[in-house]
Each structure stands twice: as C-alpha cells, then as structure tokens.
Amino acid sequence: MSERKKALITGGNTGIGKVIAETLAEEYDVAINYISQEEEAEDLKKELEEQGAAVLLIKADVSNFDDCTKMFDEIKSTWGGLDLLVNNAGITKDNLILRMSPEDFQGVIDVNLTGTFYCMKLASRMMSKKRSGKIISITSIVGLHGNIGQTNYAASKAGVIGMTKTLAKELAGRNVTVNAIAPGFIRTAMTDQLKDEIKEGLLSTIPMKKFGEAKDVAKVCAFLASEDADYITGQVLSVDGGMNI
C-alpha cells in the first residue's frame, strides 16, 4: 500500500475547515491547525483516527510568523513534508468604513491575508524542494464583488486572490499548483450569527435560492487536491449557487 499523502488545514476544527478535514481524511493524513475550541479539535482528531487517518493537532495563530514556523517545523519533523496546504482560517470584524477602527481593519488583514502569506511562504519552501504539491486558499465572493460593511474582509480576500495568481506563476515550474475557492453564502457558525432579515436579503441575491453547505466547498477542495486537477493552477473557483454570474 502506498503511503498516505499529508495535508495541513488551517482553522480546521470548525465550520468549512472541519468538513474539509473530514473529506480529505479519506485519503490524507491531516494536520489540523486551530487557535481556539480545543475540545472540538480533540473530538475531530478521534473521529478521523477512527477513519484510519493519522492526525496532528497543532495550536497556532496563523497571524504570528513564529507560530507558523513552529507549525511547519512540527510537520517536517513528523512527516518529512507536506503535499497539500488548505488556507482556511479566517475572521470577520464588520462595520461601515466610517465606524471601522484601524485595529479592526488591521486585525482582519493580519489573519486572512498575512496569515495566508505566512503559510504559503512556508509551504512553498517544502513543496518547491519536493517539486510537487498543491496550495488551496478559501477566499470569498466578497473578495470578487465587495460587500457593504466588509472593507477589511473584502481587501483581505481580494488580496488572497492576487497572491494565489502570483504564487501560481512562481511555482508552476516546480509542479506546485495554487488555486482558490470563492464560496458565496455557506451555512456555518460564521454566518449563523447574521440577523434573519440580512439572511433573507442575501437569499434573494442567490440565483439557486438556497444557501450552500460546508460539504459543497469541501468537495471542490477535494477535487482541486486530486490528480484530476493537476493541470489547473491560478484559478478561483466560485461555489456560490450562481452569485458570481
């Protein structure tokens, strides 16, 4: 039996990241990065180990370069390398620009954009040497279209798209593909906190007239991670029920 491939999922113990971890664990050993909700992380580790995957739980703040360096060092010393990085960790701190504090702008950039840059940089080093690998980042429809009250989030997610295209060009010759997934409105704890009238307003903007589920994103992630997507790089795949049409 060939050795299982190795994947790292940031923010992988909740929401979309958790379902990505569950989906990938059918084929991969998984390193699950988390920053809070330790109990959920431990429960997920048990669940995936029962499915036959080796699981590394790594507590790290992706907006901190030392934390990220230690996380990649642990992966290197345990597994020797990494085949797949999924940049999923993300936060929102919404407000209209007139009320948005510089701290709330910077806080979202630090996690969503700089954190993705740190992980991309550290994964690039490992994957370039091996001359194989895949990097997938979860951006958002908001990074493509903007959204009222989300200047910080839109800037961070648009930045992830720019980095994805750039890194795809830098690493193409090394047989490393770099892609992004842009979900629309997916039902998770992040979106459950929205008021009902906002959810109804959003629903009216979705041509398919239904919200997405985390598994809709996880399946596209599994496709981009698979050999079937070996010749796809620098792309942003929308998973949004038609919002991007």
Ligand X SMILES: NC(=O)c1ccc[n+]([C@@H]2O[C@H](COP(=O)([O-])OP(=O)(O)OC[C@H]3O[C@@H](n4cnc5c(N)ncnc54)[C@H](O)[C@@H]3O)[C@@H](O)[C@H]2O)c1
The set of catalytic residues is 153
**Shortest separation between residue 109's beta carbon and ligand X, angstroms:** 12
**Shortest separation between residue 104's beta carbon and ligand X, angstroms:** 14
Q: Which two tokens stand for residue 195?
A: 């008021």
Q: Which of residues 15 and 133 has its CB atom nearest to ligand X in the complex?
A: 15
**Pairwise CA distance, residues 206 & 185, whole Å:** 9
Neighbours of 98 (CB within 10 A): 5
Looking up tokens 């992706």 gives: 62
Considering only 4, 56, 57, 61, the residue that binds ligand X (CB under 6 A) is 61
Q: Is the CB of residue 186 less than 8 Å from the CB of residue 217?
A: yes
Considering only 15, 133, 159, 241, the residue that binds ligand X (CB under 6 A) is 15
**Shortest separation between residue 16's beta carbon and ligand X, angstroms:** 4
Considering only 7, 8, 14, 158, the residue that binds ligand X (CB under 6 A) is 14
Is 140 a binding residue for ligand X by CB under 6 A? The answer is yes
Q: Which of residues 17 and 159 has its CB atom nearest to ligand X in the complex?
A: 17
Query: E strands within 2-98?
Result: 5-9, 28-34, 55-59, 84-87
**Shortest separation between residue 11's beta carbon and ligand X, angstroms:** 3
**Pairwise CA distance, residues 207 & 212, whole Å:** 12
β 28-34/236-239 pair status? unpaired
Residues in the chain: 245
User: Interface with ligand X by CB under 6 A: which residues?
Assistant: 10-11, 13-17, 33, 35-36, 61-63, 88-91, 111, 115, 138, 140, 183, 185-186, 188-191
